[in-house]
Amino acid sequence: MASFVLSLHTAASDTCTLQALQRFAHSAIANGHELKCIFLYQDGVYHALSGFDIASDEFNPADIWQSLFELNIPVHVCVTAASKRGVSVCDNSQFLVSGLAEFAMEVAQADRWVQFK
């Protein structure tokens, strides 16, 4: 089976892209593939913000992230992209802080890299 690295480049307001990533991740694992990690880059780092105030009748990205964490997929946040956007990556322990070097190493060891933009 194949191994994948996924990257998410869009902000939390782009619900369709996040849902597509979730469907891909669940389907890949259900079909016996390995997800090495998910990398949050560019505006994707906004997903690592804590303290979203979401109304009960609105889409909550945290629910999707929780389902992905339950699959034991490491989720990395690009420290440089986060810093440029004022996102403190120290607030949320479920997300791993890393840089492009770590991302490049993960991609080099995977069979495929799939971007969600």
Catalytic annotation, residues: 78
Please answer whether residues 38 and 45 qualify as being in contact, where contact means their C-beta atoms are separated by less than 8 angstroms. Answer: no
**Which of 11, 39, 30 minimizes the C-alpha distance to 104?**
39
- DSSP-derived letter for residue 31 is T
Which one, of 99, 111, 88, lies nearest residue 39 by Cα? 99
Burial of 57 (0-12, 13-18, 19+ CB in 10 A): exposed
